[in-house]
Amino acid sequence: MQSRDAYAMMLLALGRENPRLACLATDMDYEDHFAAELPRQYVDLGIAEQNMIGVAAGMTVAAGPVFANGMSPFAIARAYEQIKIDVAGANLPVKIVGTHAGLASGHYGPTHHSLEDIGATRMLPNMTVVVPGDAWEAVQATVAVANDPGPAYLRLGRLATPTLYDERTDFVLGKARVLREPGRVVFLATGPYPNLVAAEAARALASRGVSAGHLNMHTVKPLDREAVLEAGARAEVLVTIEDHRAVGGLGGAVCEVVAEAGGPPVRRIGVPDVHYDLVGGEQYLLDRAGINTANAINQALDVLA
Domain contains 216? yes
Residues 31 and 80 in one domain: yes
Q: Are residues 226 and 144 in the same domain?
A: no
Residue 253 lies in a domain: yes
Give me the mean pLDDT over the 190-196 stretch. 96
pTM for the model: 0.95
Determine the Cα–Cα distance for residues 130 and 133; give it in Å rounded to an integer.
Answer: 10
Do 83 and 193 lie in one domain? The reply is no
pLDDT tens for 64-83 read 899 999 999 999 999 999 99
pLDDT digits (tens, 9 = 90+) for 79-128: 999 999 999 999 999 999 999 999 998 899 999 999 999 999 999 999 99
Q: How far is CA 219 from CA 132, 235, 249, 298, in A?
A: 8, 21, 11, 26
For residue range 85-99, list pLDDT tens digits in order: 999 999 999 999 999
Amino acid letter, residue 44 = D
214: helix, strand or coil: strand
pLDDT of residue 169: 83
Q: Are residues 112 and 190 in the same domain?
A: no
Q: Which residues pair with 212 in a beta bridge?
A: 185
Provide the edge-to-edge strand list for the sheet that holds 94-99.
42-44, 22-25, 66-71, 94-99, 152-155, 128-130, 219-221
Q: For residue 39, what are the contacts with CB-CB under 8 A and spacing of at least 6?
A: none
The C-alpha atoms of residue 253 and residue 250 are separated, in whole angstroms, by 5
Is 116 within the bounds of a domain?
yes
Query: Is 119 found in the same domain as 235?
Result: no
Q: Using the predicted structure, report yes or no on whether residue 185 has a pLDDT greater than 70.
A: yes
pLDDT in tens, 226-259: 999 999 999 999 999 999 999 999 999 999 999 9
Q: Are 151 and 95 in contact (CB under 8 A)?
A: yes
Domain ranges, residue 31: 3-155
Arithmetic mean of pLDDT, 288-296: 96
pLDDT score for 230: 95
Angle between helices 250-261 and 225-234 (to 10 degrees): 70
pLDDT digits (tens, 9 = 90+) for 3-53: 889 999 999 999 999 999 999 999 877 667 888 899 999 999 989 999 999
For the chain, the average pLDDT equals: 94
User: How many domains in the chain?
Assistant: 2
DSSP, res 173: T
